[in-house]
Structure formats: structure tokens, C-alpha cells
């Protein structure tokens, strides 16, 4: 079978690999599409060489069909459309014992710590496989994993109908959070300084604001006179300015969800946390149920998945696809592995 291997030096090559039969408890998935995300881009750029090693097969956003099942697996039938939760947690650490397997202290993230989806036949533990409705297009289904992140984030922020929601940062995750929060009934405003990103969000029906030239606080206050802030704020920018804006625009008892990765410490107005009883929630990865929720949003066409896909490239063009992603103008690039042959 064919697989895409990371060769270092910003290079991915298609290689031929021996097919391995699924072991007991595993499902062998015929991979249809693989989405490339920001973490994968870090692999491409060489930032994660030590973690992924040489000749690694990465990829964790995917869709496919069941090709075969290992011994003892009876919940799946061959040909069934599926996606995969790429988190193998230990089940024995304190975080897992408390039910927080998404922050397992010994997490094996599939596609980074173990082989990922950029291969024709991919063996994964059956309990991480999520069945999909046959009506869902496999192209769209490759967006379920990033959407799962957004579903988890929005649940973490407990967005309720009528809540004023501020999303800071209009990259792919910020846009997905905006869409999921809107689907949850939130009155969403996306703050993003780059005009191209604002246009893309606007085209998807998301209200946007330029935090550099517009008065964010006044616009939020106009939505809820005297509210002095949004009910829920998502910090997805990873910037010092975004962090500052987030704390400054959260209402009394409002919920600030930390989605972005901040590479350095940030100055935080803790007095405001005290004075307004603000709440801040870190949000990382997801639970299986978040993926079930994301699959339902795609199935029910609550999220315009097809409009989020910038381009689809064949396996041979993986390196070029990463370079395109690196340029920063793409929303979501998919690699077609088997595609949807049925």
C-alpha cells in the first residue's frame, strides 16, 4: 500500500509499505481524505522532529471506510463510513481516573506519537472509531476532527442561546468555534485584524470586527447595554493583544476559554478576575462524545463543510500542500488518499 512519509527538511514522500493486518481489537480503515492542520504544519517546518522521528506517517484529521476488522471487533462492518478519534489515553493516570482523558498525563496522540492517517490502510483501536452516517460525504467528514475541537471548546464555554460570544482570532479553529457557537444559539462576534480572514468569515455568515480600527468594547456594549462584556470569550489568537482583549471584554461571571497555544507567559489582569468573578477554562482536545456531536453537525448540515475546504491534493503533492498551508491563505487543505470511490 501507499503511505506518505515525513523525510525531514520540509519534505514528504510517497512510499510503498507492507500491509499489516488489524490485530485483535483493531479496525483497519481505508483512508479517504486527510486534512492538514496547524500542528502538522509544525511537523513540516521541522519543529517537532524529535517527537515524530524519521519516516513518520502523520495525519489525524481523516475520513474513510472500514476495510477489515481484527479479532473480537463486531461493532463495525466492512465498507462503513467512519472517522477516528486520534487520542489514545492511558486510562490509569489521575486525570483519566477523574474522567478527563482528554488531558491524560500519558497521552499517545495518534498521527504524532504513533502512525497517522496518511496511508491507504490504517489500523486503529476499535474504541476510537466513530461511525458516520452513509449520507455524509467523505470529503466533508475529513473536517470532523477540527470541528470536534470547536465542539469541545464551545461546550467548555457552556454557550447557551442568546449568549453574547466573542471569538478572538479568525484562523480555521476560530471560524469553526464561531460556527459551532452560532449553531448553539450564541450571538457571535469574531475579532480578527486581517482583512482576508474577516472576509472569509463574513462569507460564512459570521459577524466580524477589526480590533485595530473598531471599538470592540462599544460594539459589545451595544449588544447588551450595561453588560460590560461578552458572556463567553474564546481566545484563539495566541497573542498578547488577544489575551488582553479577552480579559478586558468578559462580563461579570463571564467565561473565558483559552483555546490558543501561548508560547510565552502573558500579563493577566487578575484583579479583574477577582472583581468580576471571571472564569477561565483551558480547553484542549476533546472527548469521544465531542466527535459524535461534530459528526452530527456535519450530517445535519449545520456547518458548511464543503465551503471550508480550500483545495484537495493527491498524496504525491503533500509537500506542496504544506507549502500552500504555510503561506497562510488556505482554510483547509485535504490530501486525497483513497478518495470516495463508492
Residue numbers annotated as active site: 39, 42
Which of positions 224-253 make contact with its own copies (CB under 8 A)?
224, 226-228, 235, 243, 251-253
Q: Does 284 bind its own copies (CB under 8 A)?
A: yes
85, burial (CB in 10 Å: exposed 0-12, middle 13-18, buried 19+): buried
Among 16, 134, 161, 282, binds its own copies (CB under 8 A): 282
Instruction: Say how many Å lie between the first and final Cα of the chain, rounded.
Output: 19
CB-nearer residue toward its own copies: 276 or 302: 276
CB-nearer residue toward its own copies: 130 or 278: 278
Q: Does 273 bind its own copies (CB under 8 A)?
A: yes
> Per-residue x/- mask for its own copies, residues 43 to 82, rule CB under 8 A?
----------------------------------------
Give the burial string for 193-227 (b: 16+ CB within 10 Å, else e): beeebbebbeebebebbebeeeebeeebbeebeee
Per CB under 8 A, the segment of 11-19, 77-85, 101-109, 186-194 that binds its own copies is 101-109
Task: List phi, psi (to 5°) of 255.
Answer: -115, 120
Per CB under 8 A, the segment of 10-18, 99-107, 116-124, 291-299 that binds its own copies is 99-107
CB-nearer residue toward its own copies: 20 or 252: 252
Q: Does 218 bind its own copies (CB under 8 A)?
A: no
Query: How many Cβ atoms from other residues are within 10 Å of residue 105's Cβ?
Result: 12
Distance CA(278)–CA(274), nearest Å, equals 7
Q: Does 268 bind its own copies (CB under 8 A)?
A: yes
DSSP 40-98: HHHHHTTTTHHHH-TTB----EEEEEEEEE-TT--S--TT-EEEE--EE--S-SHHHHT
Per CB under 8 A, the segment of 63-71, 88-96, 201-209, 324-332 that binds its own copies is 88-96
Which of 291, 317, 333, 320 minimizes the C-alpha distance to 34?
A: 333
Distance CA(165)–CA(178), nearest Å, equals 8
Q: Does 177 bind its own copies (CB under 8 A)?
A: no
Binding site for its own copies (CB under 8 A): 93-95, 98, 100, 102-103, 105, 156, 224, 226-228, 235, 243, 251-253, 258-263, 265-284
Amino acid at each position: 500500500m501507499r503511505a506518505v512519509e515525513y523525510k525531514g527538511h520540509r519534505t514528504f514522500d510517497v512510499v510503498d509499505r507492507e500491509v499489516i493486518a488489524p490485530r485483535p481489537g483493531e479496525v483497519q480503515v481505508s483512508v479517504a481524505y486527510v486534512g492538514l492542520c496547524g500542528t502538522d504544519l509544525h511537523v513540516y517546518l521541522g519543529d517537532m522532529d524529535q517527537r515524530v522521528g524519521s519516516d513518520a506517517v502523520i495525519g489525524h484529521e481523516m475520513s474513510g471506510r472500514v476495510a477489515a476488522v481484527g479479532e473480537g471487533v463486531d461493532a463495525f462492518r466492512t465498507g462503513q463510513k467512519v472517522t477516528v478519534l486520534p487520542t489514545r489515553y492511558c486510562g490509569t493516570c489521575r486525570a483519566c481516573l477523574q474522567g478527563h482523558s482528554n488531558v491524560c498525563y500519558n497521552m499517545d496522540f495518534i498521527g504524532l506519537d504513533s502512525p497517522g492517517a496518511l496511508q491507504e490502510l490504517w489500523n486503529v483501536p476499535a474504541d476510537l472509531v466513530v461511525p458516520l452516517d452513509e449520507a455524509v460525504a467523505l470529503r466533508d467528514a475529513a473536517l470532523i476532527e477540527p470541528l470536534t475541537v470547536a465542539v469541545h471548546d464551545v461546550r467548555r464555554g457552556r454557550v447557551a442561546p442568546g449568549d453574547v460570544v466573542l471569538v478572538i482570532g479568525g484562523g480555521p479553529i476560530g471560524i469553526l468555534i464561531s460556527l459551532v457557537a452560532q449553531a448553539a444559539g450564541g450571538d457571535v462576534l469574531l475579532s480578527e485584524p486581517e482583512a482576508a480572514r474577516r472576509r472569509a468569515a463574513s462569507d460564512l455568515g459570521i459577524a466580524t470586527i477589526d480590533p485595530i480600527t473598531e471599538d470592540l468594547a462599544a460594539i459589545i456594549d451595544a449588544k447588551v447595554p450595561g453588560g460590560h462584556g461578552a458572556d463567553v470569550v474564546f481566545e484563539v489568537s495566541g497573542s498578547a493583544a488577544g489575551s488582553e482583549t479577552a480579559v478586558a471584554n468578559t462580563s461579570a461571571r463571564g467565561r473565558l476559554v483559552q483555546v490558543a497555544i501561548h508560547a510565552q507567559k502573558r500579563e493577566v489582569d487578575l484583579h479583574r478576575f477577582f472583581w468580576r468573578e471571571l472564569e477561565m477554562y483551558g480547553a484542549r482536545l476533546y472527548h469521544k462524545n465531542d466527535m459524535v456531536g461534530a459528526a452530527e453537525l456535519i450530517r445535519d448540515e449545520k456547518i458548511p463543510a464543503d465551503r471550508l475546504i480550500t483545495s484537495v491534493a493527491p498524496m504525491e503533492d503533500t509537500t506542496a500542500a504544506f507549502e500552500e498551508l504555510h503561506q497562510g491563505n488556505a482554510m483547509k487543505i485535504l490530501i486525497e488518499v483513497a478518495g470516495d470511490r463508492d
